[in-house]
Structure 1
Amino acid sequence: MGAIISEPQRPQVGSVRTLPLAKVLLVDDHALFAQGLAGLMHQEGLAESVTTVATVESAADLLAHDDGFELVLLDIALHGETGLALLPRLASHRETPPVVIISSSEDESTVRAARAAGASGFLAKSAGRSALVTMVRAVIRGEGYFPGGVRPLTQQLPLTPRQMDVLVLLAQGFPNKRICQSLDLTEHTVKTHLKAIFSQLGVHNRTECVNLARVQGWL
């Protein structure tokens, strides 16, 4: 499915690197919701142009060839795949825009998984206009926006970024083969990362690993 670009209906106002953002990428497979959110971004003066795609693959390809996006709004559930799979694919980019997860689910484990994966914020689909505006303003200032309000984006974990990628997918129930596919890693590499994570936590199986990682606040 090709990208759908929702263009602004009024001339540009403001200056460089301030609101409205020049380009925003919205990754969502529900067309009506995506159109509505794009419209709100324009109406509230948050974005000049909103490009909408429906899959992680389309988003990754677009971001690989266009470095002009200043914000990514990412649905967590996309046609049976997790939107969080996009974040590890951005790790190799020299500069990546902040990514905010949008989701109809606001449970604690989902929010923690989003933050652990490297998202800059989390916005429930049930949120109102004021929350949307507050989130965008916070994120472009370099702050995090999660349920409970604006928080500093600081997180000191004894795992490498790639190990965190593996842990996040493990917590979502991905078998090794799907982790390999999502992160473009060999099975040997995934097993090596899992061994390092198990060692760090002092556990012996996947269930213990995920449970203790949540207790520790890593997820």
Structure 2
Amino acid sequence: MRSFLSSVGAVAVCLVAGSAFANSTGRAERSGKQGMSCASSGCHGGGASTPTVTLEGPTALSAGQTGNYSLIITGGPGVKAGMNVATGGLDGASLNAGSGSKTVPGGELTHSFPKTFTGDTARFDFSLVAPIVNGTLKVYAAGNSVDGDNKATGDAHANATLDVVITGGADPVDPVKPDEDEGGGCSATAGAPLLGAVLAVLAARRRRAS
């Protein structure tokens, strides 16, 4: 029995240690768009210092235009870096991976392998194809600065967002509200003449009866 429990414990340790190593090839839904962070999954945390994460690139694009962007991670443990990028606010945008990153289900970007810092900075370049609908597209990004030991401790992350105004496309179509008349019901405007006609008929009958 003791031998069995020891084996189970060893497997559990391997799974925990392996989870950090598995995320060296990236993970989605940690950009901040879904309200989850790299630390909330238990993969990274306990870093001595928090890095600075910035997004650089155009803040305005024409519908369908391609813009070039960079996610820059500065500081923190500063040995290896990872990332996750997503878009929101408008449908139809697409992200294209650059060196060291890849596209994952859901159209997000994440690192394909940990990127080595150059000095105190790591940089991930990518491109974005604007949607064909006017409005404000929000780019969400998370950046990890890790110590490279494949453990959850000793790492740190930060988030950034960038608003990109899209013009020259179609205006978004507002959904029909439930209380709006779609032509099949009785609106207040249409009901007023009908009520007046009914009252006129009743008044005429009263005059004849008298």
Q: What interval of TM-score do these two structures reach, taking the shorter chain for normalisation?
A: under 0.3
**Greater share of residues in helix:** 1
Normalising by structure 1, we get a TM-score of 0.25
Structure number with higher relative contact order (C-alpha < 8 Å, ≥ 6 residues apart): 2
**Greater share of residues in strand:** 2
Normalising by structure 2, we get a TM-score of 0.25
